[in-house]
Amino acid sequence: MTTPECCGTLTSDTLSAPDAAELARTLKALADPARLRLISLVASHDGAEACVCDLVEPLGLSQPTVSHHLKVLVDAGLLTRDKRGVWAYYALVPGALEAVAGALASPVADPR
Amino acid sequence: MTTPECCGTLTSDTLSAPDAAELARTLKALADPARLRLISLVASHDGAEACVCDLVEPLGLSQPTVSHHLKVLVDAGLLTRDKRGVWAYYALVPGALEAVAGALASPVADPR
Q: What mean pLDDT is predicted for residues B7-22? A: 84
CB contact under 8 A, B40 and A107: no
Say how many Å lie between the first and final Cα of chain A, rounded: 31
DSSP B81: E
So what's the pLDDT on residue B48? 85
Taking the domains of chain B in order of start, what are their residue ranges?
16-101
So what's the pLDDT on residue B88? 92
CATH of B16-101, one of 3.30.360.10, 1.10.1740.10, 1.10.760.10, 1.10.10.10: 1.10.10.10
CB contact under 8 A, B104 and A110: no
* CA A55 vs CA A6, A36, A40, B17, B104: distances in Å: 33, 12, 11, 14, 20
Q: What is the pLDDT of residues A52-75, one digit of tens each?
A: 989 999 999 999 999 999 999 999
pLDDT band at B112 (very low <50, low <70, confident <90, very high): very low
So what's the pLDDT on residue A33? 97
Query: Is pLDDT of B106 > 80?
Result: no
DSSP B1: -
Residues of A in contact with B28 (CB under 8 A): 28, 31
CATH of A16-104, one of 1.10.10.10, 2.70.98.60, 3.40.50.2300, 1.10.10.410: 1.10.10.10
Residues of B in contact with A28 (CB under 8 A): 28, 31
* CA B50 vs CA A10, A23, A62, B46, B87: distances in Å: 16, 23, 46, 8, 10
Q: What is the pLDDT of residues B28-81, one digit of tens each?
A: 999 999 999 999 999 998 888 999 989 999 999 999 999 999 999 999 999 999
Looking at every residue in chain A, the average pLDDT score rounds to 88
So what's the pLDDT on residue A112? 45
Query: Is pLDDT of B92 > 80?
Result: yes
Do A68 and A53 contact (CB within 8 A), yes or no? no
Q: What is the pLDDT of residues A14-46, one digit of tens each?
A: 888 999 999 999 999 999 999 999 999 999 988
CB contact under 8 A, A24 and B17: no
